[in-house]
Amino acid sequence: MKKLIILIFIYTASAGSIGAQDWHLENLMTFNWQIATPLSTNYLKETSLAGGNFEYRKLIKPNMSVGIGFSWNSFEQYIPPKVYDRPDGSRQIYTDFVHQVYTLPMYLNAHYYFKGGDKLKPYAGIGLGAQYSEQSAYYNIFVTEEDNWGFVARPEAGLLFKLSNYFGIHGNVGFSYATNKNESLKIDELKHVYYNIGIYWNGSY
């Protein structure tokens, strides 16, 4: 996975302007499996393999597109049993926990496409929008849960690998920052690095 990140960013950084006449991109749809790793939170640290992503992009210039997208991720982590103090200090409890977070970001996106070869096309972009999230903590026979909305920003860089004029392989890596908060579970924000791998469909032909 680290090699994929390095490849995408090196290829993007070293590329120049797009040669759009070679690719004829116009209406682009991507369908992806998404892997996500939480960042900067004590509530969840385990990588999630349960995620997906869909985007639609409309080329408004030969090297620029705008569109919409949404993703979903289901995070879960088991916390082994230990002794916890009640907030008021009146007693202690011994229990394990199952921490869960579900995220559903919905956003507008914009991308810039760099010059590539006959088969590879690098790009960079950002998505801005809203994120719905559910956070749950299961312990003993009890559950503490909350759902909320927050602002989300998702910068990313990726590659298109052309298999034909109509479709190909798509991959990218990005960072998701959302303002969702949960005071009872001590969550101030939701951040993760995500990796998409899937296919794209080009409807320009």
Which residues are CB-contacts of 111 (< 8 A; sequence separation ≥ 6)?
57, 64, 65, 67, 123, 124, 125
pLDDT at 201: 95
**pLDDT, average across residues 107-130:** 95
- The pTM of the full predicted model, rounded to 2 decimals, is 0.82
Nearest CA to 8 among 191, 193, 173, 176?
Answer: 173
Helices (H) and strands (E) in the chain, counts: 1, 8
pLDDT over 90 for what percent of the chain?
66
CA–CA separation, 15 and 123 (whole Å): 9
What CATH number is associated with residue 37? 2.40.160.20
In the three-class reduction of DSSP (H, G, I as helix; E, B as strand; rest coil), residue 136 is classed as strand
Direct distance between the N- and C-terminal alpha carbons of the chain, in angstroms, rounded to an integer: 33
CA–CA separation, 126 and 107 (whole Å): 9
Q: Answer with the residue of higher pLDDT: 139 or 58.
A: 58
Domain range for 83 = 2-202
Q: Answer with the residue of higher pLDDT: 7 or 106.
A: 106
Q: Give the tens place of pLDDT for each residue, 38-50.
A: 996 788 999 999 9
Q: Which of 78-82, 89-93, 107-111, 140-144 has the lowest mean pLDDT?
A: 89-93
**Residue 20 pLDDT grade (very low, low, confident, very high; cuts 50, 70, 90):** very low
Q: Give the tens place of pLDDT for each residue, 163-201.
A: 998 899 999 999 999 999 999 888 999 999 999 999 999
Cα dihedral across residues 87, 88, 94, 98: positive or negative: negative
pLDDT at 113: 95
**Residue 19 pLDDT grade (very low, low, confident, very high; cuts 50, 70, 90):** very low
Q: Give the tens place of pLDDT for each residue, 81-94.
A: 888 776 666 677 77
Which residues make beta-bridge pairs with 103?
A: 73, 133
Backbone angles phi, psi at 185, to 5 degrees: -105, 5
Could you tell me the maximum CA-CA distance found in the chain, to the nearest angstrom?
72
The residue whose two tokens read 């907030």 is: 87
Domains in the chain, number: 1
CA–CA separation, 111 and 126 (whole Å): 7
CA–CA separation, 77 and 101 (whole Å): 9
Nearest CA to 22 among 106, 119, 102, 108?
Answer: 119
The one-letter code for the residue type at 23 is W
Average pLDDT, the chain: 87
Which residues make beta-bridge pairs with 69?
A: 55, 107
pLDDT at 204: 62
The number of residues making up the chain comes to 205
